Structure 1
Amino acid sequence: MRAMPQRLGLSILILALISMVSAITGSARAQDEETRTGFSGLPVPRFVALKKDVVNGRAGPSLDLDVVVIYRKKGLPVKVIAETSDNVWRRVEDHTGRRVWINRSMLAENKHALIEERTVIFAEPTEEALPRARLEPGVMAKLEMCEGDWCRVKTKDFRGWAEKQNLWGTF
């Protein structure tokens, strides 16, 4: 009979630890989206783009650490979510939610957005405007300008206004 109170105590301790871990990770996720100034003096988070056609994403901020993903699309937007104190490495999140470290020399100003879901682009920044094209998820479009909830984008064949909520690479 004595074992029962000990098991109950252990169960309560485990539940308390799970609650603490959930609270810590939850506040860390909320903090990731909170804008602050990074070691570069620039805001974090912010969008940047891959500077080269081939960019390695690493498990940590060092050339000695494993390459966990190889990006093969120059201009692909990624979100900077952290910077190292020596201002050399950026922790980034890509459109799939994957988080890796990239050397700052492999990043440039962001000028593109990825279409996240099937999106119609319009002649003007309103759904009542003339539709110009339907873009499929994964299409990369040049960002020309954003106004409110809309951005003017350009693909190889089309130019028009898309709702910002359907684009990865803009705030």
Structure 2
Amino acid sequence: MKRLLTMLPLLALCALAPAVIPGAARAADEDKVPYWASIDADVANMRVGPGHTYKIDWVYRRQHLPVKIIRREGPWRQIEDPDGDKGWMRDLLLSRRRGAIVKGKEPVEMRAGGSDSSPVLWRVEPGVVGQLGDCKQGWCAFDTDGHRGFVRAGALWGTGEP
């Protein structure tokens, strides 16, 4: 009986393991690169290397600008911006909330629903940044400063697989 009582904590731990391990596996999956993120600061410095001693290459002043995380090194993330520029940024300046930027040279239509038959709400200029919602059947929910609607996924940088 005494042996059984000393094994009870071990048995309880084994019973909890299935509940804990999926969370750990999920957290590990979130750390895989590449993945999409967005700038989550009013001012964010991109450096030429992963550390504060490296030279600042770019200063971003566009919150929600989408970036692709292509490498991790401690608290530093190597990013690629919509123009293809690459550098390093602290993780504290980034958010997992996805953003998108209108690409191309012409304004795109933001519609009330995810189809060509939905009414046009606004025309959105290239370079406009917003928060990205779910994308289905070639259309993405897009919110730029409270103007919400649906934009064709192909007109946005920050959609699809990173």
Coarse TM-score class (shorter-chain normalised): 0.7 to 0.9
Separation in 2, partners of 1:104, 1:157: 26
Aligned: 1:127 with 2:116: yes
Counterpart of 1:88 in structure 2 is 75
Residue identity (%): 31
Aligned: 1:136 with 2:106: no
Tell me, yes or no, if the aligned pair for 2:65 and 2:130 is still in contact at 8 Å.
no
Separation in 2, partners of 1:41, 1:160: 28
Separation in 1, partners of 2:123, 2:29: 38
Separation in 2, partners of 1:151, 1:81: 23
How many residues are paired up?
131
Q: Structure 2, unaligned stretches of length 5 or more?
A: 1-27
- 4+ long deviations beyond 6 Å: none
Tell me, yes or no, if the aligned pair for 1:51 and 1:107 is still in contact at 8 Å.
yes
Tell me, yes or no, if the aligned pair for 1:77 and 1:110 is still in contact at 8 Å.
no
Deviation at 1:128, TM superposition (A): 2.5
Aligned: 1:77 with 2:77: no
RMSD: 1.9
Deviation at 1:103, TM superposition (A): 1.4
Separation in 2, partners of 1:137, 1:75: 15
Separation in 2, partners of 1:144, 1:41: 18
Deviation at 1:157, TM superposition (A): 5.7
Counterpart of 1:36 in structure 2 is none
SS, match of residue 149 in structure 2: strand
Aligned: 1:160 with 2:149: yes
In the superposition, the TM-score normalised over structure 2's length comes to 0.73
Separation in 1, partners of 2:143, 2:45: 27
Q: Structure 1, unaligned stretches of length 5 or more?
A: 1-38
SS, match of residue 145 in structure 2: coil
Tell me, yes or no, if the aligned pair for 2:64 and 2:131 is still in contact at 8 Å.
no
Separation in 2, partners of 1:57, 1:66: 9
In the superposition, the TM-score normalised over structure 1's length comes to 0.69
Tell me, yes or no, if the aligned pair for 1:115 and 1:168 is still in contact at 8 Å.
yes
SS, match of residue 44 in structure 1: coil
